[in-house]
Amino acid sequence: MRPMLSAPFLVEMIRIATNMYDHGWDERNGGNISLMLDEDEVRNYLDLTAVTRRISTGFETPELDGKYFLVTGTGKYFKNMQYDPAGNLGIVRIVDRGRAAELLWGLSDGGSFTSEFPTHMMSHAARLSVDPENRVVMHCHPQNLLSMTYVHDLDEREFTRTLWRMSTECIVVFPEGVNVLPWMVCGTNEIGIATAEKMKTARLVVWAAHGIYGSGKNLDETFGLIETAEKGALIYMKIAHLPVLNTITDENLHQLEKRFNVKAREGYLD
């Protein structure tokens, strides 16, 4: 059996989490990540019959029964992940129709998975229903997207159109746009259900006055998706108080659709 610390999925998780902290997206213990793993790749590093403990989830996601996830722990700091992977991460197998998770590795200090676990698992189930290749759900607190929710209309169409106009690459990277939730109490089944519903139509869901959820096929793609939206928000926050003399028009956005073979969300362009 190969040593766990050499597993490519673990190395990549640590790299991405460290980068997120360095970007200022995950202060203190803010933010969380879950990565769905294939059973065959987990078997190379773990005895799948050796369950450390069983943790109740408090909800049901029968669609994920038997699936494996590498997840960040509750109360853990991303900046510490590279120094103590086993203390800050865990590998779990979903069982009992999603009502419990079997811990196979990690969370070595007796802790549990992220408090946002319900939202992550519900979002994974939602994304898999529209994209069977989805593997990642990532939550963080990018400063400019967070700031934007205080000064911009939270209407999803208008929020999306603003981001698309801030940078040429935005419509190319997230043509389906950005969905938005008003402020809600985090770490609850209620916000998990609401986020999962939004995840059915977009890979990015903004939580007003809190942060953003992104999903994708791998860690790099998901990080880049959030990074692109955050760059759009950065530009918006720099110019929102200034008279705009030039912009990317809807005609320009249609040209980008054609050039990059993407389709903007229905009804979002004039």
- pLDDT digits over 103-139, tens only? 999 999 888 888 889 999 999 999 999 999 999 999 9
Q: How far apart are CA 204 and CA 179, in angstroms?
A: 6
Neighbours of 269 (CB within 10 A): 16
Q: Which domains does the chain have, with CATH numbers?
A: 1-114 (3.40.225.10), 116-270 (3.40.225.10)
Tokens in use for 141?
């607190």
* Residue 264 and residue 253 in contact, taking contact as beta carbons nearer than 8 Å: yes
- Quote the crossing angle between the two packed helices 117-130 and 189-199, to the nearest 10°: 20
Tokens in use for 152?
């911009």
Q: How far apart are CA 45 and CA 1, in angstroms?
A: 6
In which order are the strands placed within the sheet that holds 100-106? Answer: 53-56, 100-106, 89-95, 68-72, 32-37, 136-140, 211-216, 204-207, 179-181
In the chain, % of residues over pLDDT 90:
91
Residues tagged active-site = 116
Q: Give the closest residue to 182 by CA, choosing from 150, 157, 140, 226.
A: 150
Pairing of strands 68-72, 53-56: unpaired
What per-residue confidence (pLDDT) applies to 58?
86
| Confidence tier at 21 by pLDDT (50, 70, 90) | very high
Neighbours of 110 (CB within 10 A): 8
| Confidence tier at 13 by pLDDT (50, 70, 90) | very high
| Confidence tier at 185 by pLDDT (50, 70, 90) | very high
Range with the poorest average pLDDT among 114-123, 193-202, 245-254: 114-123
Neighbours of 22 (CB within 10 A): 11
Q: How far apart are CA 73 and CA 265, in angstroms?
A: 35
* Residue 158 and residue 185 in contact, taking contact as beta carbons nearer than 8 Å: no
Highest mean pLDDT (candidates 4-8, 148-152, 188-192): 148-152
- Quote the crossing angle between the two packed helices 219-239 and 8-22, to the nearest 10°: 10
Give 134's DSSP letter: -
Let me know if 100 is exposed, middle or buried by CB neighbors in 10 A (0-12, 13-18, 19+): middle
What per-residue confidence (pLDDT) applies to 1?
79
Residue type, 9: F
Tell me what the mean pLDDT of segment 88-101 comes to.
94
- Measured in Å, how far apart are the chain's first and last C-alpha atoms? 57
Ramachandran quadrant class, 187 (left: phi over 0; alpha: psi -120 to 50; beta: rest):
left
pTM tops 0.85: yes
